[in-house]
A and B are shown apart, each in its own frame.
Chain A
Amino acid sequence: MSDEAQDQANGAAAAGDAAQGAGGGLQIHPMDQFIVQPLFGDGPVAWYTPTNVTLWMALAIVAVLILMVFGASGRAVVPSRAQSVAELTYGFIRKMVEDVAGKDALAFFPYIMTLFLFILMANFLGLIPMSFTTTSHIAVTAILALAVFLTVTVVGFVKNGAAFLGLFWVSSAPAPLRPVLAIIELISYFVRPVSHSIRLAGNIMAGHAVIKVFAGFAGVLGVGAVLPVAAMTAVYGLEVLVAFIQAYVFTILTCVYLRDALHPSH
């Protein structure tokens, strides 16, 4: 395994060299920004290797710390600006959990808050030029979505027992339609983690790749670079929006799934 990984890493490095060497022509590598590399040296990427993934995830932790711990460390009754933002974030997610998933879902509030803050911070950190966007990787979002899927399924069966299967049996539909609907419901249930993860990774990856493509054009157009730069600015603004919206969407879908688990009746 280590041989293979080493070979691939070498290959990636070689590809980078080739891209730089070609220079003059229209050489755009919009996907190079997503390559996972070791932080130190060119070794193989083993499961424990500190990579750029490690670095940017650690920075996400730092960002969460700054906002939620140091920002709110004043514990002032009249909050400072940072404390206000922390409290706003707290209230925003708490209200979302309460409104969408119900009061009994508040036990999952720290978990949902973790998902939201990690995705939000990773998305925004990824918008820093030259950074690495951890949420653009399907491996990351798939694990997040699978964790939600497993949590929801386990919670659903633990809280409701076999009654959780009522989620797939649409009792309000005409009787002959119910088996058909049950199959559709079952498929849609198992597609959830797929759409949940690809929606996030796809959005983030596409936005970053588009910016990189425009940047490649800007590099070769000379004075005409004004156009791609303007386009990049516009896309960047859109990406700021997307960074927040995708974190929001992921979180609210988690709440919706959780509601299904806690109250499976249609």
Chain B
Amino acid sequence: MAVDAPEGAASAPGMPQLDFSTFPNQIFWLVVTIVVIYLILSRVALPRIGAVLAERQGTITNDIAAAEDLKRQAAEAEKAYQKALADARAEAQAIAEQTRAEIKEDLAEATAKADAQIAAKSAESAARIEEIRAGALEAVETVARDTAAELVATLAPAAVDKKSIDAAVTSRLKG
């Protein structure tokens, strides 16, 4: 055996892969290596990388949520702005309406006042006209009485009777 073995190993085309004497050595170190790598991966590397990936996924999800939130807030702010704008517009319109109404009221009041004044003035004027007219009538009567008395005195001085002349003139004027 001691003579055989060297030739088997030394033959040039022989494959070291088929040298069974090295198998226990290779298998032993392979098992050690695999166990070590398995422990490194399962205890340290894989949980760590998995955690980092999960954390990244979480961060991305959070960021997207935050962005969505901000977007919603912006939309809300815009809505509030639009609402404020509409409110202000409505208020301005209301103020304008109110002012217009007030002005109209003032105008109506002023018009009524003026109308009343005009009415008062015209009534006064009418009264005075009436007065003047009455005065005139009276003057006409006096003139007529005097004229009649003169006429009677001239034409028939004997028959001067002031009372009957007045009565006659008065009845004529009324008639």
Query: Interface majority SS on A: helix, strand, loop or mixed?
Result: helix
Residues of A within 8 A of B38 (CB): 110-111, 114
B41-82 to A contact mask, C-beta < 8 Å, 1/0: 110111011111101100100000000000000000000000
Residues of B within 8 A of A7 (CB): 2, 5-6, 9
Do B16 and A31 touch across chains, with their CB atoms under 8 A apart?
A: yes
Taking the closest CB of chain B, its distance from the CB of A260, in whole angstroms, is 22
Do A14 and B6 touch across chains, with their CB atoms under 8 A apart?
A: yes
Q: Which of A15-46 contact B (CB under 8 A)?
A: 15, 18, 29, 31-32, 34-36, 45-46
Residues of A within 8 A of B23 (CB): 139
Q: Of residues A57, A73, A111, which shows the largest number of chain B Cβ atoms within 10 Å of its Cβ?
A: A57
B88: interface (CB < 8 Å): no
Q: Nearest A residue to B22 by beta-carbon distance?
A: A36
A65: interface (CB < 8 Å): yes
Residues of B within 8 A of A188 (CB): none
The count of A-to-B residue pairs whose CB atoms sit within 8 angstroms is: 165
Taking the closest CB of chain A, its distance from the CB of B166, in whole angstroms, is 132
- Bound Cα distance A177, B34 (Å): 42
Evaluate whether A113 and B21 lie within 8 angstroms (CB atoms) in the complex, with A8-B9, A91-B53 already known.
Answer: no
Q: Which of A220-234 contact B (CB under 8 A)?
A: none
Q: Nearest B residue to A136 by beta-carbon distance?
A: B17
B8: interface (CB < 8 Å): yes
Do B16 and A64 touch across chains, with their CB atoms under 8 A apart?
A: no
Contact of B49 among A12, A77, A87, A114 (CB under 8 A): A87
What 19 additional pairs, Cβ within 8 angstroms, besides A57-B32, A61-B36, A61-B37? A4-B1, A7-B2, A11-B7, A12-B10, A15-B10, A31-B13, A36-B16, A47-B24, A51-B29, A53-B26, A58-B33, A68-B46, A113-B41, A114-B37, A118-B33, A134-B30, A139-B17, A144-B30, A201-B17
A contact set with B: CB distance below 8 Å: 3-5, 7-12, 14-15, 18, 29, 31-32, 34-36, 45-49, 51, 53-54, 57-58, 60-61, 64-65, 68-69, 72-73, 75-77, 79, 83, 86-87, 90-91, 109-111, 113-115, 117-118, 134, 136-140, 143-144, 147, 201, 205
B contact set with A: CB distance below 8 Å: 1-2, 5-10, 12-19, 21-34, 36-38, 40-42, 44-46, 48-53, 55-56, 59
